[in-house]
Amino acid sequence: MELDLRGGVRAAPVLGRTPRERQALRFAPDPPGRDADPDHVARTARENEEDGLDSALVTQSSSWPDPWLVAAWALAATSRLRISVAHRAGTTAPTAAARALATLDRLSGGRASAHVIIGSSDADVARDGDSLPKAERYRRAAEYLEVFTKALAGRAEFDFEGEFYAVRGARSGLRPRPRAELLSFGGSSSEGVELAARFAEVYAVAPGPLSATRRRIAGARAAAAAHGRTLRIWRHVTLVLAATDEEAAERARRIASDVVRLTTGPDRGHRLEAVQLDRDRERGLVGSGDERERATAYVRRALAAAFVGSPESVAERIGWLRAAGVDIVQLDTAVETDEDRELRRALVARLRSGYLPAPARSGPYYRRGW
């Protein structure tokens, strides 16, 4: 099966006064507030489609615009692009969510899917009135997905009685079109892998070294096989692209400098409330230093995981992901200028050409331990 290339659609542009500032601030923590800009949604969705991407993700947070509505606007602006909608289990009844997905899928001609999440931050889910700790959210998600998938699968009435949900005589008046991806799920915990194995068509594997990626893919597919199912694998990749590797490395250094300057300036307060920092605080990743040290540490982590290089070099690294078993690659890159779009198009063209990496022990990323 051909590699599926995924982009993203935001409800509004990245904050920043210039393209250079917006390029840098993609690596900064997202502020809690985000506008809903219809022109931006439609334009970026069309650009994803025009640049050769197959699908795009619409993300979710407690204070951002509703992802189902953003997805609907993006789908209405395009004819081919598929949209995966991040949907947090527990924010609405599973039967209502199933109807929303089926409706959006039918209205778009079979181009909608749901990326089900449980919420990476306790603080963020609490803003929507969800006080369950993560372990219980996983238990609830199992019930949620059981009801959700039953409602999507058929029109026969069904009952369900569980710890968190009880429905009587539930039925769906419409179903989404059958295809390879309707539900995806992520999470590196054993609970997340098991939920993907039981209910999803796609498993979103966490970023990490290639050896760890291979192990996680093998584990997820083994878990799915135990249920008589198969899984496609999705991997998110943050990119810093330029015409040459040297220019890309310089661009990454410039981004690191710019983003620290911008996030420790006069408007830093709203960025310190970002959901990414809530999550990092809960995981003990935020140190005790001053704001500049914390911002620098966050940016360093973000850039350390990025694929930095020319389209040719980045295609080589993505080729190794493909060889490891990845079916869907999400290309997360700044697209603020015509040059940015040309670089993304060049990468897509390289990946579409059936590019295969060099033998494992001779490639530059083998020597670097990637």
* Per-residue pLDDT of the chain in tens (370 residues, 90 and over written 9): 689 999 999 999 998 999 999 999 888 877 777 899 999 999 999 999 999 999 999 998 888 999 999 999 999 999 999 999 999 998 899 999 999 999 999 999 999 999 999 876 777 787 878 888 888 999 999 999 999 999 999 788 999 999 999 999 998 889 998 887 899 999 889 999 999 999 999 999 999 999 999 999 999 999 999 999 999 999 999 999 999 999 999 999 999 999 888 887 666 556 566 666 655 655 666 555 566 676 677 788 888 889 999 999 999 999 999 999 999 999 999 999 999 999 999 999 999 997 555 554 444 444 344 5
The pLDDT of residue 2 is: 86
> Which residue from 101, 106, 121, 16 is spatially nearest to 60, judged by alpha carbons?
121
The pLDDT of residue 180 is: 76
CA pair distance 259, 276, nearest whole angstrom: 15
The pLDDT of residue 279 is: 59
Over its C-alpha atoms, the chain yields an Rg (Å, rounded) of 20
Which pTM was predicted? 0.89
The pLDDT of residue 290 is: 61
CA pair distance 7, 138, nearest whole angstrom: 27
The pLDDT of residue 184 is: 97
Place of tokens 């603080």: 123
The pLDDT of residue 295 is: 67
Q: How many CA atoms lie within 13 A of 32 on its CB side?
A: 14
Phi-psi region of 132 (alpha: psi -120 to 50; beta: other; left: phi over 0): beta
How many Cβ atoms sit within 10 Å of the Cβ of residue 363?
A: 16
Whether 191 contacts 217, CB under 8 Å = no
